[in-house]
Amino acid sequence: MKEIWLEKYRPKTLDEVVGQDDIVERLKAYVKSESLPHLLFAGPPGTGKTTCAMALARELFGEEWRAHFFELNASDERGIDTVRNKIKDYARMAPVAGGFNIIFLDECDHLTGDAQAALRRTMEMFTRTSRFVLSANYSSRLIEPIQSRTAVFRFRPLRPEAIKAYLTRIARGEGLKVTPAAMGALVYIAGGDMRKAVNALQVAASTSSQIDEETLYRTASTARPDEVKKLIEVSLGGNFLEARETLDNLLIEYGLAGEDILRQIHRTVFDISLPDDVKVRLVDAIGEVEYRLVGGSNERIQLENLLAQFVLFGQEIRKKG
């Protein structure tokens, strides 16, 4: 069975991490001093938070890093008992070869309020034996006492050049030929999320070693940007039935969910030449439909409602013109 490329090509050292140069330099300073405060890695998924935590442990402890590194996904075990039992038991353990252990809590913004309060106390009590590295998509969901006890690292969505550099290394290692258009498609599919890009490339590579953009969009269940753009332009042009037919094609041909299409519409609105006040109204309408979808409304009715609103906005634009 083929390896999962996310693990096979995961950077082993901080120097191999791409797209987060400022963060890497700060972490290297901790490695050089052989000391570490509690850390908070905050940012969107797929931007290197877990990778940096593992690379940091490798550089601090060498080949024995696994003996000093305890990883727990807080979204799976998020209650106060987890903090009182699992985390506290490990935090009080003396390190095998002196120094300290690293406790990596992934997605810790999913911890309950009581669990966070217990974690704060645990972080205070066991600083002699353990350092906590907390990872969160939304740092604002963590209580202030935890944030104030950590050095905060803000991870940003990865830039296109960083994604291309990493994917080029994988393609070279796997003997793949990726066309420039396909590389652009991978960057679009990723949206700053390296995990999404690597998974899309591996799925496409399972069908052929020659990767083109058409293969990528179909295997990644992502509509081509020009088709989404056509959907918006046709509806703004006043042709509701044609826009509805285009929507049907996207839903059937790519097998997309309503929220997937809505996210792509939101991204594409900003690539269309329209006055700012029109874009404001479009985004407002998209936000309202997204809220209804999350609340459980029928996605087909809500998407057609959005297209109908776009048609009405287009009529207003033409009247003003």
* Residue 91, C-beta contacts closer than 8 angstroms, at least 6 positions apart: 101, 103, 122, 125, 126, 129, 130
Residue 302's domain comprises: 225-320
Residue 1 has pLDDT above 60, yes or no: no
Number of domains forming the structure of the chain: 3
Rounded Cα gap, residues 146 and 154, in angstroms: 15
Nearest to 132 by CA among 95, 103, 94, 99: 103
Residues 213, 144 share a domain: no
Residues 215, 237 share a domain: no
- Output the CA torsion sign for 294, 300, 301, 306: positive
Per-residue pLDDT tens over the stretch 176-234 = 999 999 999 999 999 999 999 999 999 999 888 899 888 888 888 788 889 999 999 99
Helices 276-294, 299-320: inter-axial angle, 10-degree rounding? 170
Per-residue pLDDT tens over the stretch 226-265 = 999 999 999 999 999 999 999 988 888 777 888 889 999 9
* Residue 111, C-beta contacts closer than 8 angstroms, at least 6 positions apart: 74, 78, 83, 105, 119
Residues 175, 315 share a domain: no
pLDDT-based confidence at 78, cuts 50/70/90? Answer: low
Residues 149, 23 share a domain: yes
CA angle, corner 264, sides to 258 and 266, nearest 5? 100
- Kindly state the tokens that stand for 259: 């929220």
Q: Which of 219, 253, 268 is the last residue of a domain?
A: 219
Residues 121, 32 share a domain: yes
Q: Which of 104, 139, 154 is the last residue of a domain?
A: 154
Per-residue pLDDT tens over the stretch 136-192 = 999 899 999 999 999 999 999 999 999 999 999 999 999 999 999 999 999 999 999
Residues 249, 128 share a domain: no
**Residue in the structure block whose two tokens are 């309408």:** 285
Residues 241, 199 share a domain: no
Residues 230, 197 share a domain: no
Q: Which of 154, 170, 194 is the last residue of a domain?
A: 154
Q: Largest alpha-carbon pair distance within the chain?
A: 76
Residues 191, 137 share a domain: no
